[in-house]
Structure 1
Amino acid sequence: MSLRFVPENDQLSDAKNTQFGPAAPSAPGLVDTLRSGEPPLSVSSKVNNRHPLESRLEKWDQAQRDLQLETYRRMFGAADPIKREMELSIVQESDFKPQLFANSAITSPSEDILLNRESTVGWEDIYNGSNNVRENDFHAEMEKKMGI
């Protein structure tokens, strides 16, 4: 693996018609919109009117995570990034999620700690889009879960 700080440029300069969906069996040059269940696709909307930085910004967090894991692998060996990824998958697949985080895009505090985002404030932390959701405190949720 490399120590790439900035994601590579994946901006499309040309595209084939069947690059963005499955090809129809009777007409291999066309996207099969009936079987895929998606509306007709405009290939020009996928290629044109995109800024060169847009694809890099979409992959920024993943590139930083890959760089961090590669650095950990070189410093501490292969076991450390494997352990960190296992802990992250356990936290993401956990069945218990407090009501405060259940209906929003906010990640859990455990996930923020494992991704080293506990000291950052993003727009998801403030504008979570749940204006009318009744928010219970964490202690009430735990009491309800434990049956206390």
Structure 2
Amino acid sequence: MDRITNRPEFTPASGIRHTETTTAADPRQKTSGPGFQEALRTAMTPMTSSSGTAVQGTLPPLRTMPLGDLFESSGVEMRIQDLIQTMEQFSAALMNPEQTLKELTPMADALGEEAESLFRQSPDSENPVQDFARRTALLARVEVEKFRRGDFL
């Protein structure tokens, strides 16, 4: 028991050997034991189960969700893409030192209107596309508010 932490002292698990040795002649040579190549060969050999058959190292195939069912004819995916593109243009304009605030204000207003429209038309539901649309619209609204508040000056 350690006096400071009141925790049991660390004891290595059985079967683990401390292989570090220091010699006075060469302080860089601290370890002895199996080399890296041998450890790599051991790690790369296929594992066998208790029945003696090799265990496959591949993962089962991922479940795929048909995206065609998610994006119905509502055009939500196009509106999300348009909003993201507008956000990227706004970001590029913010990075341009030649742009003035007067030039950026209409772009911020348009981004805010587009985000507000998408947010209103994306009901709160279990549909992942609608959820993504709401999150994207919220992110755009936050960026517009940060611009109006003066965070980017």
TM-score greater than 0.5 by the shorter chain: no
TM-score (norm 1): 0.22
Highest RCO, 1 vs 2 (Cα 8 Å, sep ≥ 6): 1
TM-score (norm 2): 0.22
Q: Larger Cα Rg: Structure 1 or Structure 2?
A: 2
